[in-house]
Structure 1
Amino acid sequence: MVLLGRFGAPHGVRGEIRLQSFTADPLSIASYGPLFDKSGRQRFVLANVRPQGKDMLVARVEGVNDRNGAEQLSRLELFAPRSSLPPPDEDEFYLVDLEGLRAETGEGLLLGQVLGVRNFGAGDILEIAPPVGGETLLFPFTRAVVPVVDIAGGRVIVAPPEEIEEEGPEPAK
């Protein structure tokens, strides 16, 4: 299952709901057929989708006819089966394809296994589970830090950024 969007707050009293789309063309989220919750048990058909502002859509969901129904969907993530998505172009990939890949340095040092790509608002972050356990490693998911994504080879190459030296307190004058 591939994450395509997330419901937001209800919009009005007739069952419409705000929708954040993660697809390249935001309006195309409605063209992938039924969408599902993460478990795959709940099914959602987007009957109508229209833009609202720069980064948001408003959607009508089949079977949701009032504000209370829309409130029940708030913050729910929407997924589509990988098979319903078009194949990526050359040098493209779905973020879900990174999960489980080996993460290593350019010198071949194993950093761990990719858990996924997270975004907390300031850009994509590659999350890696170290081979010996412990806290996960987080790296900016940029071409400078992750110069190689080799899906067929089952790995990503990570060039960890140099640590920024923390300066001590300024001496008193």
Structure 2
Amino acid sequence: MSSNETQKVLMAKIGAAHGVRGEVRVKPFGDDPLSFTDYGVLTTKDGKQSFEVQNARVQKTVVVTKFKEVTDRNRAEELNGVELYIDRDQLPDTEDDEFYYSDLNGLTVQDPDGKAMGKIVAVEDFGAGDLLEIRPKRGKTFYIPFTKDFVPEINLEAGFVTVDLPEDYLSDEKPSDSSGASPDK
């Protein structure tokens, strides 16, 4: 990333239209479901569209949101799937041992002996907890749980994380049955 290119942080994603007056359901990314409303204008990643929150209310697992720029259901329906970003420098500074998930993208992943295993390409949550998606030098990306047991060290300044995987974690072999029976019987 060039020095004049500002890093964007994904704050929320617009979902389905809600009602006829231009409200939309928004899936927030963050501990506080309304935190995306605290940063003023939100933009698409390319910066071509911007949205200012007029009002928002939590409703079950989404935040029903009215943007000033969206005045009817037709426009609201067009926005389904649009991701909303802010500039990284709008976020508050972190404390020691704190970080934003976006800070992890691009970090080198190494084993406990310091051998490089790949790079972090994303932090995902599919519903069962946070996962790091890692792209090795060769082969397909893989996921590891983002827990202290699996990721005992994060060093943002040096640009790496250390992961401690069980011996057979990356094996393609199926686990054997402890009784010695063939799985086909």
Q: TM-score, normalised by structure 1?
A: 0.90
State the one-letter code of the partner of 2:56: V
| Amino acid across the alignment from 1:17 | V
Residue 136 (1) aligns with residue 141 (2)? yes
Gaps of 5+ in 2: 1-7, 170-174
Deviation for aligned residue 1:2: 0.4
Counterpart residue number, 2:3: none
Looking at structure 2, the residues matched to 71 and 117 of structure 1 have their Cα atoms a distance apart, in angstroms, of: 28
Equivalent residue letter for 1:146: V
Of all paired residues, the percent bearing the same amino acid is 43
Which 5+ residue runs of structure 1 have no aligned equivalent?
A: none
Deviations 1:33-58 (A, max 9, x none): 111112122111111111112x2111
Structure 2 Cα separation of the partners of residues 151 and 83 of structure 1? 16
User: What is the one-letter code of the residue matched to 2:126?
Assistant: F
Q: Distance in 2 between matches of 1:72 and 1:63?
A: 13
Distance in 1 between residues matched to 2:108 and 2:35, nearest whole Å: 32
**For 1:27 and 1:91, how far apart are their aligned partners in 2?**
24
Whether 2:174 is the aligned partner of 1:160: answer no
Residues 1-173 of structure 1 mapped to structure 2, 5 A cutoff: 1-53=8-60, 55-131=61-137, 133-163=138-168, 165-167=175-177, 168-169=182-183, 171=185
2:156 is matched by which residue type in structure 1? I
Match of 2:172 in 1: none
Mean CA deviation greater in 6-15 or 156-165:
156-165
SS of equivalent to 2:38: helix
What SS does the aligned partner of 2:165 have? coil
Q: Normalising by the residue count of structure 2, what TM-score does the alignment of the two structures yield?
A: 0.85
Cα distance in 2 for residues equivalent to 1:44 and 1:63: 6
The structural deviation recorded for 1:28 is 2.2
* CA distance 1:105–1:71, change in 2 (3 Å): same
Taking the aligned partners of 1:161 and 1:136, their CA distance within structure 2 comes to: 17
